[in-house]
Amino acid sequence: MKKIAVLLTILLLTSATLVAGLYIGGYLTPGSDTAPIVTPIPEETPVPSEEPASPEGSVPADGQGTASGQVPEEPEQIGMPREYSCAYERLTGKEQEVYLQICSALKDFREVKVSTTDRDLLEKVYSYCMADHPEIFYVGGFTFTDRQVGGVSTEFTFRGNYLFTKEETQALREEIELASDSILSGIPDPSSDYAAAKYLYETIVRMTEYDPDAQYNQNIVSVFTSGRSVCNGYSKALQYLLQRAGIEAMTVSGQSRGSSHAWVVARLDGDFYHIDVTWGDASFSGEDAGTAAPGDWINYDYLCVTTGDISATHTASDEVPVPECSADADNYYVREGRYVTVFNEELLREIFRTPQQVTQDGGSVYSLRASHEAYEDLTWELVENSGIYRFIDTPGQVHYTSDPDMRTMTFFVSGG
């Protein structure tokens, strides 16, 4: 019986839309635009390929591919520094071969025959590639052609689904690189991963407004061209800048308080940390809602936290394994001397001596984080017993917000 070759073209749109469930103090409905809960403290108290399959393995459409059994190129050989290979390193050797084929094809707008006929593997590897590469902002999924003989797949041909033409992509790439060059030139201490991460976190927060209606809000275009985005855009923009600063980073997709969400895992000074830059931005709460919380304050609660800390509010998907984050040496509050393990008046006076932030209206912001043992004592002494007025000298009223999950407390003193 004569076997008939069958070609199937399948369209996959695998980059799911993410809209953040955000939290900045208090308890917020995921994805809502409710202002932070700030409480006053009483002063008194595709087209199918027609090419035959290669008998030796997969060969890209340009004939320059990798045959089965051949050692795949290292990331650097396709212009991918190690900073861009956090997810790549978690793949098997065969999966890494497909990963490099996909990345190379996407970078060059090429169609490629990949070294697999396993659809699940192809989808998995594509997800890993996109987790590593925020600079591939112009791709919104992929198409593959399945060449079958006698009902058996013999060859997959992969191509990206592009959001922009090559010319449009190049123009956007140049605009993004120009903006990021300017940002990166301002890193205060290039020798310190923590200093770079903190600066870039603050920069993304200051330059971006949370806007679910922003165009291209699932990639870095929204942040660098319009300054408006959602969690995926925030996270990929931070990842992009970290990688350009030589820091290994990947985007993590998952859930937070019942809504789809995205954040970053980065390796700083040798250890991995979770960083949620979206939750650092108060802009999503909109205009002042009658509280004393300034709209331009930066929340540092999720700058360099452990897996144990973030798991109270975030759940990573199992699509791409996330490195375990157990170190706290580069946690913001630890590094800035704002971590309190016992009620210590001398340490508290030092924390409240100088404002952590000065807002545009001239207000002052002070924050600290407490150990499990110290959190209740600090809440009682500083808030319920109005002890904060012993440390902050102000004729007005002090307002506060707290995050029990992170055991943080932030105090606001109005300007003027």
Helix axes 193-207, 231-244, angle to 10 degrees: 140
Does residue 277 form part of some domain?
no
Per DSSP (E only), the strands in 150-189 are 152-162
Residue indicated by tokens 């290669």: 54
Tell which of 162, 189, 219 closes a domain.
162
Average pLDDT (191-204) is 97
Nearest-angstrom CA–CA distance, 260 and 244: 27
- pLDDT of 85: 84
Does residue 10 form part of some domain?
yes
Tens-place pLDDT, residues 381-414: 999 999 999 999 888 788 988 999 999 999 999 8
Number of domains comprising the chain: 2
Tens-place pLDDT, residues 48-99: 333 333 333 333 333 333 333 344 455 554 445 566 688 999 999 999 999 9
Boundaries of domain holding 345: 337-416
52-63 b/e with 16+ CB inside 10 Å = b?
A: ebbeebbbbbee
- pLDDT of 284: 57
For the four alpha carbons of 250, 255, 260 and 263, in that order, the dihedral sign comes to negative
Residue 210: is its pLDDT beyond 60? yes
Tell which of 118, 145, 162 closes a domain.
162
Tell which of 162, 185, 205 closes a domain.
162
Does residue 310 form part of some domain?
no
Does residue 51 form part of some domain?
yes
Does residue 177 form part of some domain?
no
Which tokens hold the place of 199?
């600066």
pTM of the complete model: 0.82
Tens-place pLDDT, residues 255-286: 998 899 999 999 999 999 999 999 998 765 44
